[in-house]
Each structure stands twice: as C-alpha cells, then as structure tokens.
Chain A
Amino acid sequence: AQTVTQSQPEMSVQEAETVTLSCTYDTSESNYYLFWYKQPPSRQMILVIRQEAYKQQNATENRFSVNFQKAAKSFSLKISDSQLGDTAMYFCAFMSGYNNNDMRFGAGTRLTVKP
C-alpha cells in the first residue's frame, strides 16, 4: 500500500523568506501523481502544485516549486518570497495512475508565516 510521510508537523518562516516542506512516499508503482494541497484556516483545500511521475522536470507554479527525486521517493515543496496568506496546513498527496482518484495524504505540515 502506498504511504505518504510528512515529517514536519509544524514550521514557521518570516515573511519574504523561503521555506521547504518535506514529503516522502512509498510505492512500487511507476505511474503515479503527486500533489501539494493547501488548507488555510477554516477554508477549503486548494491545489498548489501537481507532478506527474513520468516527468523529470520539476513542476513550478509562480512562487511554488517542487524538488521531485523519484529514486529517493521524495517530493518537497519550496515556497519562495513567503506571504502572510501562505499560512495554512499543507498536505502532500499521492495518487496511483492505475487506481484513479484514490488519493493518499500525508499528515500535513502546519506552516505559519510571520510578519
């Protein structure tokens, strides 16, 4: 079974600085997708970034980028120029390419951006 591990329950960063959230996963499959979702306090979960396992190039979305290390099964999220609005729970998620829509989530990292 696939598992997703986020080893940092809480992190904090100063506004405008850069922070990296860690995620590792375990799978024997070769076709899969990885996601980072953001859940702001009392607000709904939104997709931050997505990575297809067959793509070697790391995904980037504005200030958000990932470091995808397939051999190491690592998928970290880097947030550059952190903003107060980035304060949220961040979930790393894995989805098999063979079993659509059964998404497995990590325990989450609570990120606080300080002014």
Chain B
Amino acid sequence: KAGVTQTPRYLIKTRGQQVTLSCSPISGHRSVSWYQQTPGQGLQFLFEYFSETQRNKGNFPGRFSGRQFSNSRSEMNVSTLELGDSALYLCASSFSSGRGTDTQYFGPGTRLTVL
C-alpha cells in the first residue's frame, strides 16, 4: 500500500501571499489530520477532517483553513502569509473506525518558507 503523500515537498512564498498544500491519505483511510512543526513551538495540531467534515480544530487563526474531498484527499490553505508561518506542515491519515483511536500515519511533510 502506498503511504501518505504530500505535495509539494518544498515551497517558498512571500509575506501576504496565500498557499495551498495537498495531502493524499493511505487508501481506505478516511481521516486526515494536519500539524505544523517548528523549532520553537514543536508539533502543533491544526485540524482534522473526516468524511469531508472538519471534526477537530486546534488553536490557529482563521487564516489557516482546510477541506477534504470525497476521495479523502485533503488540502490546507494559509492566506495572508506571515514570516512565522514558515514551518514543516505534516499530514497524517488514519482509518478512524469511530470506535476508538486509530494509529496515525504521517506523510513526509511540506517545507514552507515565507520570505
């Protein structure tokens, strides 16, 4: 089975621009979670989508948004980029049976640099 894939792997943007990152989960997985990883703040949960609905949300401003498509692929969007948005953005997928917590499998991440 193919693992979680994320595109693009690297991205350079300037302040004020917006960016869209993509995540394709493992086949059969219906839940996709997004995390931001920075040296200062570590790994922080952004949001989770399940069956095209946002099910959980972390403490990030509204500039961070996402969506999930019917094939479970997910995108996250960051508008009006700030220097502090420079980070590794990780996506993780799980089967999410609904009866409990399933293991999350991570993608390689998208390295976003904001200049």
Contact = CB atoms under 8 A, between A and B. Distances in A.
A101 B96 contact: yes
B72 to A, nearest CB: 13
Contacts of B55: 100-101
Given A101-B48, A102-B48, A102-B58, A107 B31 contact: no
Instruction: State the majority secondary structure of interface residues on B.
Output: strand
B94 A105 contact: no
B62 interface: no
A21 B97 CA distance: 31
Contacts of A100: 31, 48, 50, 55-56, 96, 98, 100-101
Contacts of A84: none
Contact of B56 (A37, A45, A99, A108): A99
A95 B104 CA distance: 11
B35 to A, nearest CB: 8
A108 B96 contact: no
Contacts of A44: 106-109
A108 B106 CA distance: 16
Interface residues of B, number: 26
A75 interface: no
A16 interface: no
Interface string B72-102: 0000000000000000001010101010110
A95 B112 CA distance: 26
Interface residues of A, number: 23
A47 interface: yes
A21 B31 CA distance: 30
B106 A95 contact: no
B103 interface: yes
Interface in B1-60: 31, 33, 35, 42-45, 48, 50, 55-56, 58
Nearest to A91: B43
Nearest 6 CB-CB pairings of A with B: A105-B43, A45-B106, A44-B108, A101-B48, A102-B56, A33-B101
17 contacts: A37-B106, A44-B108, A45-B90, A45-B106, A47-B103, A50-B103, A95-B101, A100-B48, A100-B55, A100-B98, A100-B100, A102-B48, A103-B35, A103-B45, A103-B92, A107-B42, A108-B43
